[in-house]
Structure 1
Amino acid sequence: MADTSQCFTCRKEAMTKDLKRCSRCRGALYCNSQCQTKDWPSHKKLCSESDRWYDKYRGCRDGSMHEGELELITWEYSNTDPEDGDRMGWGNVLLEEAEYLKRQFEVDCKGKQSLFFKKWPQGFRWTCCGTDGEMNYGCDHHGTGSKPCTCDFCRMGKPLPDSIYCEQTGPRMGLKLPRGPDPRSVHSSYVRQ
């Protein structure tokens, strides 16, 4: 499957390599300069020449953008999958592997999160939606973002069902995430009668 993404403004799908990146944050993708100019009033709140190493990873392939922080998972938790129920630890790995991964972070990556993210993105989470750092297809913020949420539930005009909303995964621990729906996202073709 080809690596495709959507323009952040018109949602036109194209090969990611053919889309233009915002030259400041390197996260937002556009099909042309007109789309970038049109999106600037909402994008400028997130776009900066800051020293936050994760800004260039904010852009998602569906045209949405993570608005939270990228945070290293450092806590222990039980995997919610009833089949394995494993204890997970530092870096979002099995507890038995956590010390080894932490040592790689300290030695190989010299304690720099930016280097470690390139090696192990699933060890991080986005605080805006509770997805792990490896997830680059959509920020399911359910109405808290500057742009409409792109998840199917918000498009249907429905809040997240209990089976999803109440699920406690490691990347979601400690976050107060909204249930939705985002009223800006409701789309008639998704709404079921």
Structure 2
Amino acid sequence: MADSASPACSVCAKSGGEMHQCSGCKAKYYCGRECQTADWKAHKKACAAAPKWYDKHRLCQDGTTHEGRLELITWNCPEKGLGWGACFADESDDLKTKFKLKFGGDEAKFFDYWPQGFRWTCCGTDAGMSYGCDHHGSGSRPCTCDFCKMGKPLPNGIFNEKNPFEARVDPQTRP
């Protein structure tokens, strides 16, 4: 007899055992990959339209908005010494374990604990920073910041320019 508290598969109606929730909308359950794949064509549009847990985080303090989605950083960046969740590489395994055990893999709850472990897919901005979207027109629609309103995206090279104040001449040595 199947456990009545356990959700049923959205495709084959099988209940009991390990069920997997749709990671996009969290509205549907599947008994396995085969059922989820079989349902995807019919479910795709509804899943995309469903509210997402991170929608409440789109608005920035300066009034700009993010159009992308919040993505948990699950890769390592050895050049910067960062690991899973954008933490120090040597703390990566502990943070990953905490995400799975303490937060049950729930990204919304983990975001409240570790927002800097997420980034916006529209601009790459660390989700822990809420002072503005940095995609400057590279998304499907321009963000609402002043740079995009001007209609001129910032050139990529601007981020590699040296600080003009570093080369300041000492007034005492000026001719």
Same fold (TM over 0.5): yes
- The equivalent residue for 2:123 is 129
Q: Which residue of structure 2 aligns with residue 160 of structure 1?
A: 155
Q: Is there any run of 5+ residues in structure 1 with no aligned partner, and where? A: 1-47, 80-85, 167-193
Distance (Å, rounded) in 1 between the aligned partners of 2:128 and 2:120: 10
Structure ranking higher on relative contact order (CA contacts 8 Å, 6+ apart): 1
1:141–1:149 contact (8 Å) kept in structure 2? no
- Report matched runs for 1:147-186 at 5 Å: 147-150=142-145, 155=150, 157=152, 159-162=154-157, 164=159
Q: Is 2:88 the counterpart of 1:94?
A: yes
Deviation at 1:160, TM superposition (A): 2.7
Of stretches 100-109 and 136-145 in structure 1, the one that deviates more from structure 2 is 136-145
Residue type at the aligned position of 1:66: H
Q: Percent identity?
A: 42
Equivalents in 2 of 1:97, 1:160: separation in Å? 35
Tell me whether 145-154 or 128-137 shows the greater mean CA deviation: 145-154
1:74 pairs with 2:68:
no
Change in 2 beyond 3 A, CA 1:101/1:164? same
> Partner amino acid for 1:113?
E
CA distance in 2, matches of 1:122, 1:112: 16
Local SS of the residue matching 2:110: helix
Asked if 2 retains the 8 angstrom alpha-carbon contact of 1:138 and 1:151, the reply is no
From the two aligned structures, give the one with the greater helix fraction: 2
Match of 2:9 in 1: none
Aligned partners of 2:81 and 2:125: how far apart in 1? 19
Structure with max Cα Rg: 2
Which of 103, 108, 112 is 1:109 aligned to? 103
The aligned counterpart of 1:53 is 53
Q: TM-score, normalised by structure 1?
A: 0.51
55 and 156 in structure 1: CA distance in 2 versus 1, 3 angstrom threshold: closer
Q: Secondary structure at the match of 2:109?
A: helix
SS at match of 2:131: coil
Aligned-residue Cα RMSD (Å) equals 2.8
Which amino acid in the other structure matches residue 78 of structure 1?
A: P
TM-score normalised to structure 2 length: 0.56
> Is residue 133–residue 143 contact of structure 2 (8 Å, CA) maintained in 1?
no
Corresponding residue number in structure 2 for 1:139: 133
Distance 1:108 1:148 in 2: 35
> 3-state SS of the aligned residue for 2:85?
coil
Which secondary structure state, in structure 1, belongs to the residue aligned with residue 119 of structure 2?
A: strand
Deviation at 1:51, TM superposition (A): 3.8
Structure 2 distance, partners of 1:164, 1:54, is 28
